[in-house]
């Protein structure tokens, strides 16, 4: 009888143990698919996403194509992520329309989608954590106008004309110039795919075609670095006002040395953090705003080392 009792107690303990293991929920899985991986900006976004994953005790993966022109590769990454049936998905679209069929698939599977940095032309994302790129680029236009004396020729290099960030930064800058500064003429807009080498070649061609050019705006890290290279190689330092967007090491060095007048910095760590945080909240059924504005700041030689700006730079 005693043996039977011991056996029963043992059985109860085993059942209880395995029941507890069955009830122990695995970590939530949230893939984070960015527009790229090579720029320091995306590495800073990754840091923010990883910090949120740690704070909320979730598992993430972070990936993006080598080049921001590789739309097909990003779509493949999105497809692979969806095939793993994640609990939610964070996505920064290279092409604001191309990803919609896959996002519709995510919606059909009840997988919440959180946009970050660059949204999509769809109401499927439950929210988007991003900079107000229209407002930020418009502010860059105001600074350009001020620095060139409110008249003259300027040019623009943008990373692409398919992502929400590319469209918004181009239009924010161009429309502000057209609306407020009638004596400033935008002589050319080109698209360098976020690649600094391609952007360098495009910028050199523009400068050579427009000898009276007074200002040049690079709408992301690769674009801005390309403009810096072109101005340097053509010995136009001090003759063309260069304004950038983002705050990688080469841009910071250019501002400190006087090659670049200033730039807009985003809050990339905040973008990554807020995206993953929003994904967790969406999984838990919490209401989210349509857009989570992560802010932007102008910085130049006078503010680059300030207590406000320094934490937002990602050299």
Q: What is the pLDDT of residues 115-162, one digit of tens each?
A: 999 878 889 999 999 999 999 999 999 999 999 999 999 999 999 999
Rounded Cα distance between 168 and 227, Å, is 20
Say what the pTM is. Answer: 0.80
pLDDT of residue 130: 93
Neighbours of 100 (CB within 10 A): 15
Q: What is the mean pLDDT of the chain?
A: 91
Look at residue 314 and tell me if it is in a domain.
Answer: no
Per-residue pLDDT, averaged over 35-47, amounts to: 88
Number of domains in the chain: 2
My answer on whether 92 and 196 are in the same domain is no
Neighbours of 225 (CB within 10 A): 29
My answer on whether 286 and 178 are in the same domain is no
pLDDT at 261 over 60: yes
Coil, helix or strand for 114? strand
My answer on whether 271 and 166 are in the same domain is no
Measured in residues, the chain has a length of 315
For the ranges 14-18, 75-79, 90-94, 161-165, the lowest mean pLDDT is seen at 14-18
Look at residue 167 and tell me if it is in a domain.
Answer: yes
Per-residue pLDDT, averaged over 91-115, amounts to: 94
My answer on whether 167 and 257 are in the same domain is yes
Residue with tokens 């609990």: 87
Query: In which domain, by residue range, is 145 found?
Result: 133-265
Rounded Cα distance between 246 and 252, Å, is 9
Look at residue 310 and tell me if it is in a domain.
Answer: no
My answer on whether 124 and 157 are in the same domain is no
My answer on whether 257 and 273 are in the same domain is no
What percent of the chain stands above pLDDT 70? 92
pLDDT at 225 over 80: yes
Q: How many CA atoms lie within 13 A of 283 on its CB side?
A: 17
My answer on whether 226 and 77 are in the same domain is no
Look at residue 300 and tell me if it is in a domain.
Answer: no
My answer on whether 47 and 89 are in the same domain is yes
pLDDT at 94 over 50: yes
Instruction: For residue range 63-72, list pLDDT tens digits in order.
Output: 999 888 899 9
Per-residue pLDDT, averaged over 273-281, amounts to: 98
Confidence bin at 198 (pLDDT 50/70/90): very high
pLDDT of residue 179: 98
pLDDT at 51 over 90: yes
What percent of the chain stands above pLDDT 90? 82
pLDDT of residue 315: 66
Look at residue 217 and tell me if it is in a domain.
Answer: yes
**With contact defined as beta carbons under 8 Å apart, do 64 and 34 qualify?**
yes
Confidence bin at 311 (pLDDT 50/70/90): confident
pLDDT at 287 over 70: yes
CATH assignment at residue 108: 3.40.50.2300
Look at residue 10 and tell me if it is in a domain.
Answer: no
Which residues touch 25 (CB under 8 Å, ≥6 apart)? none
Look at residue 299 and tell me if it is in a domain.
Answer: no
Residue with tokens 């109401």: 123
My answer on whether 139 and 250 are in the same domain is yes
Coil, helix or strand for 241? strand
Greatest mean pLDDT among 11-20, 94-103, 204-213: 204-213
pLDDT at 11 over 90: no
pLDDT of residue 119: 78
Per-residue pLDDT, averaged over 183-189, amounts to: 98
Return phi, psi of residue 64, to 5°.
-165, 160
Look at residue 158 and tell me if it is in a domain.
Answer: yes
Coil, helix or strand for 278? helix
**With contact defined as beta carbons under 8 Å apart, do 185 and 178 qualify?**
no
My answer on whether 162 and 90 are in the same domain is no
My answer on whether 110 and 195 are in the same domain is no
My answer on whether 244 and 182 are in the same domain is yes
């Amino acid at each position: 009888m005693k043996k039977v009792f011991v056996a029963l107690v043992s059985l109860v303990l085993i059942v209880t143990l395995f029941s507890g293991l069955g009830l122990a929920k695995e970590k939530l899985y949230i893939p984070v698919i960015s527009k790229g991986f090579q720029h320091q900006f995306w590495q800073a976004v990754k840091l923010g996403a990883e910090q949120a994953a740690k704070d909320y005790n979730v598992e993430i993966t972070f990936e993006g194509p080598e080049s921001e022109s590789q739309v097909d590769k990003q779509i493949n990454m999105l497809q692979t992520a969806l095939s793993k049936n994640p609990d939610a998905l964070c996505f920064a679209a290279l092409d604001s329309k191309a990803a919609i069929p896959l996002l519709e698939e995510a919606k059909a599977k009840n997988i919440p989608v959180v946009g970050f940095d660059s949204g999509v032309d769809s109401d499927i994302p439950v929210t988007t954590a991003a900079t107000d790129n229209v407002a930020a680029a418009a502010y860059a236009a105001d600074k350009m106008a001020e620095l060139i004396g409110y008249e003259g020729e300027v040019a623009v290099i943008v990373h692409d004309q398919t992502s929400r960030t590319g469209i918004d930064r181009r239009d924010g800058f161009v429309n502000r110039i057209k609306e407020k500064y009638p004596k400033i003429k935008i002589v050319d807009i080109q698209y360098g795919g976020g690649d600094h080498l391609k952007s360098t070649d495009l910028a050199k061609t523009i400068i050579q075609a427009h000898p009276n050019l007074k200002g040049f705006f690079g709408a992301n890290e690769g674009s801005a670095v390309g403009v810096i290279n072109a101005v340097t190689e053509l010995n136009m330092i001090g003759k063309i006002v260069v304004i950038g967007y983002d705050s990688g090491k080469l841009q910071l060095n250019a501002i400190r040395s006087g090659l670049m007048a200033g730039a807009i910095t985003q809050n990339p760590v905040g973008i990554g953090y807020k995206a993953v945080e929003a994904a967790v909240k969406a999984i838990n059924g919490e209401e989210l705003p349509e857009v989570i504005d992560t802010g932007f700041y102008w910085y130049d030689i006078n503010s680059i080392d300030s207590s406000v700006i320094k934490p937002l730079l990602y050299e």
